[in-house]
Amino acid sequence: MRNSIEFEIVGNYALFTDPLTKLGGEKLSYQIPTYQALKGIVESIYWKPTLLYIIDELRVMKPIRMESKGIKPIDYGGGNTLAHYTYLRDVHYKCRAHFVFNPHRPDLAYDRNEHKHHNILKRSLKAGGRRDIFLGTRECQGYVEPSVFDEGEGFYDNYDGEIHFGTMIHGINYPDETGRNQMETRLWNPVMKNGVVTFIPPEQCVQVRQLAGEPTPKLFNASNVQSVDELYEQMAEGGNS
């Protein structure tokens, strides 16, 4: 796939929260990462509003294990709140993703340099990402590094049959990615075959519209963006003076 990267993700714990379990404070993780969580990981490696990341496949390398912990979340009201969170334990995934240019951001057409962004993305991945990598929630630290998707032995490689995970959150549609001034939640029914989950494109998902108001995307233009070339010219002029 053009503009693609392949990488692996490891961590001691992960919490890809099922939103149905947030109401009572007893958070429960999905059995696999959501499309949106993986997209967030790639955006933590390297993000520009010019780019739109597409998650293609996920490979589950280790067995799916859960562990419950007693948690004392911050209670800003001064109470003594106790809860139990159920995490995924000792996770290891491989992921394949690629990027396209965001068609809904014509204000960033000047930045559509495919070769530049792909090389920066690969260098950022090799460095472990530009921002912190976390697996679903901040307390679950993760680590990424380049890897060949089909290499290595996974726990479910030779599993006889399919594993269905039921209805899950696929991701969220944001205004700057859809051109619609509203947020939307996408749902889908993932299936794992021989340890691999193949994600469907966002436009094929069932959508629950208008999740949270009608936000508008931030526009970038000459008034709030300065090119690297202009900065170099200013630095050169300053040096000459």
What ranges do the domains of the chain cover?
4-167+190-200
Contact by Cβ (8 Å): 80, 70: no
Output the pLDDT for position 213: 57
| pLDDT at position 209 | 60
Give the per-residue pLDDT at 59.
98
pLDDT recorded at residue 96 = 97
Radius of gyration of the chain from its Cα atoms, rounded to whole angstroms: 20
CA distances 72 to 13, 25, 38, Å, are 17, 10, 27
- Could you list the pLDDT tens digit for every one of the 241 residues in the chain? 689 999 999 999 999 999 988 877 789 999 999 999 999 999 999 999 999 999 999 999 999 999 999 888 777 777 777 888 999 999 999 999 999 999 998 988 999 999 999 999 999 999 999 999 999 999 999 999 999 999 999 999 999 889 999 999 999 998 888 888 888 889 999 999 999 999 999 989 987 765 555 667 777 776 777 777 777 777 777 765 4
Q: Where are the alpha helices (DSSP H) in 127-161?
A: none
Pick the CATH number of 4-167+190-200 from 2.60.40.2580, 3.30.70.2660, 3.40.47.10, 3.40.50.150: 3.30.70.2660
Note the pLDDT of residue 222: 67
- The reported pLDDT for the residue numbered 237 is 78
Check if the beta carbon of residue 141 is closer than 8 Å to that of residue 4.
Answer: no
Alpha-carbon distances, residue 215 vs 12, 125, 175, 210, 212 (angstroms): 36, 31, 7, 10, 8
